[in-house]
Structure 1
Amino acid sequence: MRKLVSEGSSVIFISHKLDEVLEISDRVTVLRGGKVVGTEVRDSVDRRSLVRMMVGRDVLLDFDKPKTEPGKTVLQVENLTVKNDKNLEAVRDLSLSIKSGEILGIAGVAGNGQRELAEAIYGLRKPVQGKVVLNDKILRHADVAQRIKGGVAFIPQDRRAVATCPSLSITENVFMKNSYSMYLPQSPFNLNTRAMHRATKELISDYSISTPSTKTQARFLSGGNLQKLVLARELSTKPCLIIAEHPTRGLDIGAMEFVYKTLLAHKERGAAILLLAGELYEIFRLSDRVAVIYEGEIMGYTPPDPSFTEEIGFMMAGSKRGEIS
């Protein structure tokens, strides 16, 4: 981009990543709600002032995690081996556990088995071997319904193609997993649509989803509002286990703050949370423990402390923690 500019081209750079914006731009224009909030020369703004323009208030991303004493083990993964879409082993003999009121962050370079691990735990992908145990009960492989009934929530990284049905309404997306709770007692094959719309309106308010109507198709929502819709559907049932795969990817800083606070609130409630994120700062902010994955294997565990960044880097490159001098 700098080469293009030096040759006389004009570049419009659109991004949620403030560090990139501040590094690259000569002028910065902020949009909020489809309207221009203001335009500033690069040297006259910093991250905090840009955030205030974007959100309309100060945003707090660095906050104290709620102090909860981990309870009983909710999730136990034992010797799990999973293949990817190319029929190659993506997860190799992996074991981990998460307790109630605990967030386990999985750190690693993208493509090292994170997606396959999340899908296998949720039942979307059948493992080659190993077992998944939820609250002392062994889960059947590739049985998503059993996990839903057992209180497992899944926030996948692709909110448009995987997490939602774009052509369905917000109400239909909210109840696509738990519509059984909305059948009319006198007619078990008919849904109580009034109750569904009423419950959806409450979730729209609770999760601050910006939409004209409960009947609006999901494809018309922005990325941030679509992610809030996924959170509303997955977390409103108060799950015992939450699998969060890149929950803030592509979100603006205001939506990121909302996701962080929501996940921490459920941790405080007692949920066990598996967090798979691409950014170490996000893992440090939310996690109680950090597990590093490389080519489908856990290389070791560290506390969620930036002082362990170098050690985590070695493990992300394939060194086991015991081998790092």
Structure 2
Amino acid sequence: MTEGRRGYFIRAEGITKIYSDGTVALRDVDLEVRPGEILGLLGENGAGKTTLTKILSGLLPPTKGRVVSPRGPVRFSSPREALDFGIGMVHQHFALVGTFTAVENVALSHKRPFSPLHLEQTRRKLEALMEESGLRVPLDVPVEKLAVGEQQRVEILKVLSRDVELLILDEPTSVLTPLEVDELFELLRRLRDEGKSIILITHKLKEVGAIADRVVVLRKGMLVGDFKAAEASTEKLAQLMVGRPIETRLGRPVELSEGPMPQQAVPRGEDRAGPGVLHVEGLVVKGDTGEVAVQGVSFDVHAGEIFGIAGVEGNGQTELVEALTGLRPAVSGRATIGGTDVLGKDPKEIYRLGVAHIPEDRWKLGLVLPFTLAENAILGVHRWEEFRGPFSVLKWRRINAHVRELMERFGIQATGPGAPAKSLSGGNQQKLIVGRELAKDPKIIIASQP
């Protein structure tokens, strides 16, 4: 924070949040947000980070405690009231209308959004913001046809267009390229220098050191650390997040390095780890706009191998994964798993070949949010004899035991198998999907932005 700057923009005092299912998300948390400062908010999955910021941004009421400003106590009954006060939040899961364009989604957060004059003003403001921030998106394409990373940029631009005083970003870099992250951070520094307050929720300790002025750590709903970023080592932050020193299997503490990862030799040719599992040849796939998104792609994936696909978001990765998992038809080409052609097959048939799919959009493709953990944990395997009895009656005792095993193995924090998936934090929802897919003992795992 700039030396000499005093006071605070908003402060949370004694915030406790207990959800209707009995989950205690926050316990007597105090947090001060100051002007001209980037605050890094750290914590494990389910630590309460998102819940706290949802209270600050008007999405949730606290069970106990209050939010105050220099003008006195404030209580927001909606995100619009928080926006009018000067607080905007970019959520990990986007609040966009899929059939609307970027311009229409941004205009929607303003009064009289769809008058021709206002739409034109919104377009001009977005064009200026994109030029300034480097966050570029197609303005006239329905956002449901955009890649996840592009949708996130629309969310950031939407909040910036309201000229907020406090900008809250929940895991904003999760689907951005390194260049886009640098551009975003440069924008955040400029906003800070203009006197704006910024809360950055992240799991990436390196990001905290690169951008934050102050760091707050939550663990199991309690505030366990609040200090200047310059005073915090990555080891200290990691220990505060989990409550113990992080050790390797050899029993030695992990030394977290800020330098580049060591290079590893990748076995090639006859030195590969095992036989071919996935063969893709000349694959052509169209995107939602009708244009070719994947053009003549060929590759092989072998058993015992991690095969990475890199690229800027929106360059065909989504369409490639959807074609391989039966969610999108291919125009031409060939793709086989274990020698069996998979193009044009139903996803159920493909999964029976030993494919596990961890989708990039967990809300759209990974979970049924109103369903319980138990119901979500058997999606795709509910017909297995292990979970189905005579007359196709589900064996709920076995299913609940299976869910408890997943909760233990993958560290899923929930009240139990009967908790609705929508009550979990984003990280715990992801753990549930990963656990479910790995429990299938697959031959190949296709993971998109996991």
TM-score norm. by structure 1 comes to 0.70
Alignment-derived partner of residue 240 in structure 1 = 443
> Within 5 Å, which residues of 2 pair with 1:176-191?
176-181=379-384, 182=386, 184-187=388-391, 189-191=392-394
CA contact (8 A) 1:124 1:142 kept: no
Which of structures 1 and 2 has the larger relative contact order (alpha carbons within 8 angstroms, sep 6+)?
1
CA contact (8 A) 2:323 2:343 kept: no
Indicate which of 354, 367, 391 corresponds to 1:164. 367
Deviates further, 225-234 or 49-58: 49-58
> Within 5 Å, which residues of 2 pair with 1:194-209?
194-209=397-412
CA spacing shift, 1:94–1:29, aligned 2, 3 Å? same
Q: Return the alpha-carbon distance in structure 2 between the equivalents of residues 196 and 33 of structure 1.
A: 27
CA drift of 1:97 comes to 0.7
CA drift of 1:203 comes to 1.5
Deviates further, 124-133 or 63-72: 63-72
CA drift of 1:185 comes to 4.1
3-state SS of paired residue (1:104): coil
Percent same amino acid at aligned positions? 37
CA drift of 1:64 comes to 11
Alignment-derived partner of residue 207 in structure 2 = 20
Residue identity in the other structure for 2:312: V
Residue deviations 1:10-30 (CA, integer Å, cap 9, x gap) = 443333333332233322111
Deviates further, 3-12 or 178-187: 3-12
CA contact (8 A) 1:28 1:42 kept: yes
Residue identity in the other structure for 2:390: Q
Deviates further, 51-60 or 78-87: 51-60
Q: Return the alpha-carbon distance in structure 2 between the equivalents of residues 12 and 139 of structure 1.
A: 45
Deviates further, 196-205 or 227-236: 196-205
Q: Return the alpha-carbon distance in structure 1 between the equivalents of residues 399 and 432 of structure 2.
A: 14
CA spacing shift, 1:8–1:118, aligned 2, 3 Å? closer
CA contact (8 A) 2:387 2:399 kept: no
Indicate which of 296, 312, 316 corresponds to 1:93. 296
Residue identity in the other structure for 2:339: D
Residue identity in the other structure for 2:237: L
CA spacing shift, 1:207–1:64, aligned 2, 3 Å? farther
CA drift of 1:7 comes to 4.4
Alignment-derived partner of residue 231 in structure 2 = 44
Residue deviations 1:19-69 (CA, integer Å, cap 9, x gap) = 332233322111122211111222211222212212223275879999995
CA spacing shift, 1:99–1:184, aligned 2, 3 Å? closer
3-state SS of paired residue (1:215): coil
CA contact (8 A) 2:330 2:343 kept: no
Q: Return the alpha-carbon distance in structure 2 between the equivalents of residues 22 and 90 of structure 1.
A: 37
Q: Return the alpha-carbon distance in structure 1 between the equivalents of residues 219 and 324 of structure 2.
A: 38
Alignment partner of 1:30 is 2:233: no
CA drift of 1:152 comes to 0.2
3-state SS of paired residue (2:217): strand
Q: Return the alpha-carbon distance in structure 2 between the equivalents of residues 72 and 207 of structure 1.
A: 29
CA contact (8 A) 2:334 2:341 kept: yes
Alignment partner of 1:118 is 2:321: yes
Aligned residues: 246
Residue identity in the other structure for 2:323: A
Q: Any unmatched runs of 5+ in structure 1?
A: 248-325
The structure whose Rg is larger is 2
Residue identity in the other structure for 1:141: G
CA contact (8 A) 2:272 2:302 kept: no
Alignment-derived partner of residue 298 in structure 1 = none
Residue identity in the other structure for 2:214: R
Q: Return the alpha-carbon distance in structure 2 between the equivalents of residues 242 and 64 of structure 1.
A: 24
CA drift of 1:78 comes to 1.4
CA contact (8 A) 1:152 1:240 kept: yes
CA contact (8 A) 1:32 1:54 kept: yes
Q: Return the alpha-carbon distance in structure 2 between the equivalents of residues 110 and 23 of structure 1.
A: 23
Residue deviations 1:230-259 (CA, integer Å, cap 9, x gap) = 111101111001101111xxxxxxxxxxxx
Q: Return the alpha-carbon distance in structure 1 between the equivalents of residues 390 and 201 of structure 2.
A: 53
CA drift of 1:4 comes to 4.3
CA spacing shift, 1:85–1:43, aligned 2, 3 Å? same
Alignment-derived partner of residue 154 in structure 1 = 357
Q: Which runs of 4+ in 1 moved over 6 A?
A: 61-68
Q: Return the alpha-carbon distance in structure 2 between the equivalents of residues 186 and 20 of structure 1.
A: 53
CA drift of 1:222 comes to 1.2
Alignment partner of 1:80 is 2:307: no
CA contact (8 A) 1:133 1:139 kept: yes
Q: Return the alpha-carbon distance in structure 1 between the equivalents of residues 193 and 330 of structure 2.
A: 52
Alignment partner of 1:133 is 2:320: no
3-state SS of paired residue (2:224): strand
Alignment-derived partner of residue 246 in structure 2 = 58
